[in-house]
Structure 1
C-alpha cells in the first residue's frame, strides 16, 4: 500500500472514531485543546501559508465532531493560537501545549484531540515529519503513548 493511501486511510479511520464519540466531546476543555492542536499542526513547519490556513479553517468548519461548537468561536480560538505560534513559535508552542493539556483529565477527550491532529495533518495527504513530531509532543503533554497512534 502506498504511503499516500496509508495516510488517507489512517485519517479516515481517526475521523470515523471521532464521529462515534461525538456526543462525549462537548466540553470547553476539548474545544480549546482541539483548536490548539489544529493550530499546532498547521504551523508545525514554522510557517503557515494562506492556503493552509484556509484548508484547516474549512476542515474545522465542516468536521462533524466540532459541529458541537459555534463555528465563529472555533475560528477565533484557532486564529488566536496561530497568532501565538507565528509571533514566536517556541514561546507560542508552550502556550498552545498548555491549551492542549486541558484535555488531559478525560482520556476520551485526550485521545480525540490527538486524532484531530492526525486528521488535520493527513488532510492534504502528506502527514509530514514536522506534523508528526508536534502531534507526538502533544501525546506526551496529554500523557498518551505515541505508539498508540502509530507515531
Structure 2
C-alpha cells in the first residue's frame, strides 16, 4: 500500500510538472514571420468582392484574414441600407460584430434582434437566418470557424 501511495504521489508531481512547465510550450502557437494587420472598414484599400448571386444587390465581402476556402477566416460583409438578406445558412458558426449601420437579424425560431455598432452576435452553424440593414450601409465583421459559405434556404409552405 505504501508503494502504491508513493507511486500516486510521484504521478501527481509529474502531472503538475507537465501542466506548469511543458504544456504552455506545447500550446503556444508558432507565429513564424506573420505580421500583425489592421484593416479599416471605410478605407479605399479594402478589396471588396461581390456576394453570392442570391444575396441583395450591392452586397459585398472583403477578406480580412485567412483563406475563405479554409478554416478560420475573417471577413467584412457589407449591404446597403434597406437591403434584405434572404433566408440562408452557413456550415460554420459565425462570430460577428457590427462595424457600421444598424441591422436586424432573425434566426429560425427566435425573436428578431437589432444590432447596433459595436454589438456582438453569435450565429450557430446550419441555423437558418435573415437580416435587414435598417440604417446603413451595414458592415458586419464575421469570423468563420469553417470555410466561408452561404446556402439559400427555401421556406416551404
TM above 0.5: no
TM-score, reference length from structure 2: 0.26
Which has the larger Rg?
A: 2
